[in-house]
Structure 1
Amino acid sequence: MDKINEKIDLLKDDMVSSIQDILRIKSISGEKEGNAPFGKGTADALEYALKLAERLGFKTVNLDNYVGYAEYGEGEEYVAVLGHLDVVPEGDGWNYPPYGAEIHDGNLYARGAMDDKGPTIACLYSLKAIVDAGLTMSKKVRVIFGLDEETGSGKDTEHYLKYEKPPVLGFTPDAEYPIINGEKGITIFNLVKDFKNDYEGETKIQYVKGGDRSNIVPPYAEAGIKADLKGEIIDKCESFCERTGYDLKAEEKDDMVIIKSKGIAAHGSTPHLGKNAIMQLLSFLDELNLGKSDLTDYIAFLNKYIGMETDGESFGIGMEDKVSGKLSFNVGVIDFSRDLGKVILNVRYPVTCKYEDMMTGINDRIANTGIRIENMTHQKSLYYPEDHKLVKILQKVYEDQTGNEPKLLSIGGGTYAKEMPNVVGFGPIFPGEPDVDHQANEFIKVEHIVLNAKIYAHAIYELAR
Structure 2
Amino acid sequence: MMAVKELEIDTNKKVQLIIGTQEEVKWIDIDAYVANCQLPDFSFTPDGDFPIGNREKGYADVELRFNKRIGESGSVEIVELYGGPTINSIPSIASGKLRGNKVEIEKALSNYLKRCPENEVSIEEQGDLVIVKAKGVATHSSFPEKGVNAIWILADFLKELDLINNGAYYVVKFINEVAAGDFEGASFGLAKGNVYVNGEDMHKTMMAITFMETYEDGYKLFYNIRQTYGIYEEDIEEGFSKYSDSYGYTFKIEDYMDVLYIDSNKPFVKLMEDIYNDNTPWTSCFKLGHGTSYAKALPNSVYWGPVFPNEEDLCHEANERTKFDNLILATKLFSYYLAEVVLSKESLKG
Instruction: Tell me which residue corresponds to 2:224.
Output: 346
Question: For 1:87-102, what aligned pairs fall within 5 Å after superposition?
Answer: none
**Structure 2 regions of 5+ residues with no counterpart?**
344-350
Q: Structure 2 vs 1, CA of residues 164 and 337 (structure 1 numbering), >3 Å: closer, same or farther?
A: closer
Instruction: Tell me which residue corresponds to 1:266.
Output: 139
AA matched with 1:385 = D
* Structure 1 residue 281, shift from structure 2 partner: 0.6
Q: Structure 2 vs 1, CA of residues 405 and 208 (structure 1 numbering), >3 Å: closer, same or farther?
A: same
Instruction: Tell me which residue corresponds to 1:280.
Output: 153
Secondary structure at 2:134 match in 1: strand
1:131 matched to 2:9? The reply is: no
* Structure 1 residue 370, shift from structure 2 partner: 2.2
* Structure 1 residue 339, shift from structure 2 partner: 5.2
* Aligned pair partner of 1:141 in 15, 19, 35: 15
Instruction: Tell me which residue corresponds to 1:183.
Output: 56
CA distance in 2, matches of 1:397, 1:238: 60
Instruction: Tell me which residue corresponds to 2:333.
Output: 455
Instruction: Tell me which residue corresponds to 1:22.
Output: none
Runs of 4+ in structure 1 deviating by more than 6 angstroms, as ranges, are none
Instruction: Tell me which residue corresponds to 1:333.
Output: 211
Q: Structure 2 vs 1, CA of residues 318 and 239 (structure 1 numbering), >3 Å: closer, same or farther?
A: same
Instruction: Tell me which residue corresponds to 2:346.
Output: none
* Structure 1 residue 237, shift from structure 2 partner: 2.0
AA matched with 2:302 = V
Instruction: Tell me which residue corresponds to 1:234.
Output: 106
CA distance in 1, matches of 2:11, 2:113: 62
Secondary structure at 1:399 match in 2: helix
CA distance in 2, matches of 1:148, 1:293: 37
Q: Is the 8 A contact 2:55 2:262 kept in 1?
A: yes
CA distance in 1, matches of 2:290, 2:241: 22
Q: Is the 8 A contact 1:415 1:425 kept in 2?
A: yes
Question: Given the two structures, how large is their TM-score scaled by the length of structure 1?
Answer: 0.68
Secondary structure at 1:146 match in 2: coil
* Structure 1 residue 315, shift from structure 2 partner: 3.6
AA matched with 2:274 = K
Matched residue pairs, number? 337
Q: Structure 2 vs 1, CA of residues 155 and 339 (structure 1 numbering), >3 Å: closer, same or farther?
A: closer
CA distance in 2, matches of 1:400, 1:243: 56
* Structure 1 residue 367, shift from structure 2 partner: 4.7
Q: Structure 2 vs 1, CA of residues 170 and 331 (structure 1 numbering), >3 Å: closer, same or farther?
A: same
After superposition, the CA RMSD in angstroms is: 2.0
* Structure 1 residue 395, shift from structure 2 partner: 1.5
Question: For 1:309-328, what aligned pairs fall within 5 Å after superposition?
Answer: 309-320=182-193, 321-322=195-196, 323-328=201-206
1:218 matched to 2:91? The reply is: yes
CA distance in 2, matches of 1:339, 1:201: 21
Higher relative contact order (CA 8 A, sep 6+): 2
CA distance in 2, matches of 1:201, 1:309: 28
CA distance in 2, matches of 1:235, 1:393: 65
AA matched with 1:145 = I
Instruction: Tell me which residue corresponds to 2:266.
Output: 388
1:200-257 CA-partner distances (Å, limit 9, x unpaired): 34421111111122111111111111112x1331232243234321111111221111
CA distance in 2, matches of 1:189, 1:198: 26
CA distance in 2, matches of 1:143, 1:242: 56
CA distance in 1, matches of 2:149, 2:93: 8
* Structure 1 residue 375, shift from structure 2 partner: 5.2
Q: Structure 2 vs 1, CA of residues 197 and 457 (structure 1 numbering), >3 Å: closer, same or farther?
A: same
Secondary structure at 1:376 match in 2: strand
Q: Is the 8 A contact 1:182 1:351 kept in 2?
A: no
Secondary structure at 2:295 match in 1: helix
**Structure 1 regions of 5+ residues with no counterpart?**
1-126
Question: Given the two structures, how large is their TM-score scaled by the length of structure 2?
Answer: 0.89
Q: Is the 8 A contact 1:286 1:299 kept in 2?
A: yes
Q: Structure 2 vs 1, CA of residues 337 and 415 (structure 1 numbering), >3 Å: closer, same or farther?
A: closer
* Aligned pair partner of 1:155 in 13, 28, 31: 28
Instruction: Tell me which residue corresponds to 1:58.
Output: none
CA distance in 1, matches of 2:10, 2:126: 68
1:330-355 CA-partner distances (Å, limit 9, x unpaired): 21211246951210111110134333
Q: Structure 2 vs 1, CA of residues 369 and 227 (structure 1 numbering), >3 Å: closer, same or farther?
A: closer
AA matched with 2:13 = K
CA distance in 2, matches of 1:175, 1:250: 40
